[in-house]
Chains A and B, each alone.
Chain A
Amino acid sequence: QVQLVQSGAAVKKPGASVRVSCMTSGYTFSGYYLHWVRQAPGQRLEWMGWFHPNNGATKTAQRFQGRLTMTGDTSVATVYMELTGLRFDDTAVYYCARDPHSALALGLLDYWGHGTLITVSS
């Protein structure tokens, strides 16, 4: 079965960077887009960007441009999200999620990781 297993929670200081991993299994890793979505406390889910493992293509939501980098390692079927210049309002649960459409990033999310809590605190 499809599984997305994310790295554990982390506490970071303002200005630091964080990298979250998302290890996938149960399907052809290179065939599907992976999205990153976050949810800050009391806020709605917010789409951050997508990554395609086959060619490394990415698309980033405008508000994260310049701070968000998404990469992948096909040898371990894992995608990574790195967010730099952390601010207090980056405190959130970060999710990876698979797009079921292999030909384009439709934005539908059929399988999700359990989430990684990133706390930005001084």
Chain B
Amino acid sequence: EIVLTQSPGTLSLSPGERATLSCRASQSVNGRYLAWYQHKPGQAPRLLIYGVSSRATGIPDRFSGSGSGTDFTLTISSLEPEDFAVYYCQQYGSSLFTFGPGTKVDIK
């Protein structure tokens, strides 16, 4: 099983600031099969990024993903008020799909 860790656990920032979220895998993620999701309380999780760096349909370009192997990053270039949420990474390159524990981005 590939175990994902995310850091930091909480990121306190102001609107307009840049957010950098990290996701590290216990072993190399097969085939760039790494995704990021945004989750707000009471809402359905939302797919942001798939294949490490491809934005899902309708996702603004302030969201970007990068990385390879075991280290991945989600960057939000300039936080909008609606971006304050929990973000999860997920690997889907092995038969047991696993998620990270999440990074909460809250308002400073």
Contacts and interface: CB of A to CB of B under 8 A. Distances in A.
B99 A45 contact: yes
User: Which residue, of B45, B88, B100, B102, has the highest number of chain A Cβ atoms within 10 A?
Assistant: B45
User: Which residue, of B33, B88, B97, B99, has the highest number of chain A Cβ atoms within 10 A?
Assistant: B97
B102 A107 contact: no
A3 to B, nearest CB: 10
A29 to B, nearest CB: 18
A19 to B, nearest CB: 20
Contacts of B95: 59
A59 B99 CA distance: 18
A114 B101 contact: no
Interface residues of B, number: 22
A108 B47 contact: yes
Contacts of A61: 96
Interface in A70-118: 95, 97, 106-115
Contacts of A97: 45
Contacts of B35: 108-109
Interface in B61-108: 88, 90, 92, 95-102
A12 B47 CA distance: 31
7 contacts: A45-B99, A47-B96, A107-B92, A108-B33, A109-B35, A112-B46, A114-B43
Interface of B: 33, 35, 37, 42-47, 50, 56, 88, 90, 92, 95-102
8 pairs of A and B residues whose beta carbons are closest in the complex: A107-B92, A107-B97, A112-B44, A45-B99, A47-B97, A44-B101, A112-B45, A114-B44
